[in-house]
Amino acid sequence: MGCSTTLLLAALLAADQNAPATEAPAEDEALTDDKASANDPATEAGVAPVELIPRLELRQSFVRLPGGVAAHVTTTELDIAFLRRVLLRYQGHIRVLSGPNGQVSGFGDAEVQAVGLLASSQRFVAVAIAGAVLDSASQPELGTGKTQLVFGGAAALSPVRWWLPYLIIQEQFSVAGAAARPDINQLVVRFGNIVFGPGFSWYKLDFDGVTDFEQEKGRLFGQIEVGSLLVGRVGLFMRSGTQLVGTEQVDYSVEVGLRYLFRLAKGKPSEMK
């Protein structure tokens, strides 16, 4: 989960980027080897909260803010497996911000992250998360605050093969950067559920609680995602979200993305049981 460019945009781009940033996904890599069940949808779709399946992803999002402000964000994400128990993630953003005073566009801050597997089984996974948001935007207003460190963890438990609830807790705070950029200090808690449908489809519902220690405010965001693997390892998904509680900063958000999985478990999941 990331932070935004200005104090107004902070919660907005924070709610969408890291947790999820923080889109964030977790699944036991061990579920993808030869010991995995070929009929387990959670093994196949590659959509869990702290995903350890390497992928390449391209996302296009639109966010509407109060006061006639809008943000278009194009995100490229690359996840690379390292030593089988660590996933290295890079995210780059191109932002276009439009408002009453005109339009600003360019590169946003780059994000790097490592997701390490702590414990796993066929139905449970726990990971640790560490990363940074780099002060690399082409213009200050396109960044997400000062340079930040990110620490957290996530766990997912599948009580039945078609349902995967999960929890992500993440702290993100500024450590350095230009004075023109805002300080960031946020605690993000995401509770989510994934339901796996027929074939390679999935349906995801997330609730993100954001505690902003700099502004001394709390907010709650909700997001729904629907997706499916279409051809081979290529998947298509769509997300839509809004702010549910707290000082209004987001009217609504819509995001569409393509995902390519570098590895996929054998077999195709059966219909939901």
Confidence check: pLDDT of 239 > 60 = yes
Distance CA 263, CA 149 (A): 29
Q: Which has the minimum average pLDDT: 105-114, 192-201, 204-213, 234-243?
A: 192-201
Higher local confidence (pLDDT), 29 or 99 = 99
- For the ranges 18-22, 45-49, 106-110, 216-220, the lowest mean pLDDT is seen at 18-22
Q: Is the pLDDT of residue 17 over 60?
A: no
Distance of CA 164 to the CA centre of its chain: 16
Alpha carbon distance 135, 109 (integer Å): 6
- Which of 246, 150, 237 is closest to 207 using CA atoms? 246
**What residue has token string 């995995």?**
36
pLDDT at position 42, please? Answer: 41
Of residues 167 and 85, more confidently modeled: 167
Lowest mean pLDDT: which of 52-61, 158-167, 175-184, 208-217?
Answer: 175-184
pLDDT more than 70, % of the chain: 77
| CA–CA separation, 64 and 240 (whole Å) | 11
Strands 234-245 and 252-261: antiparallel
Residue 184 has pLDDT above 70, yes or no: yes
Q: Is the pLDDT of residue 142 over 50?
A: yes
Residue 171 is predicted with a pLDDT of 96
pLDDT of 13 above 60 = no
Closest of 205, 266, 242 to residue 47, by C-alpha = 205
Domains, the chain, in order of start with CATH, read 7-261 (2.40.160.40)
pLDDT at 33 over 80: no
- Four-residue CA torsion sign, 5, 10, 13, 14: positive
- pLDDT at residue 249 in the model: 83
d(CA 19, CA 87): 15
Over residues 231-251, the mean pLDDT reads 91
Identify the band that residue 264 occupies on the pLDDT scale cut at 50, 70 and 90: low
Residue 69 pLDDT level (bands cut at 50, 70, 90): confident
Measured CA to CA, the distance from residue 52 to residue 43 in angstroms comes to 11
The reported pLDDT for the residue numbered 176 is 83
Q: Which is higher by pLDDT, 45 or 271?
A: 45
The pLDDT confidence band at residue 10, using thresholds 50, 70 and 90, is very low
Confidence of residue 31 (pLDDT cuts 50, 70, 90): very low
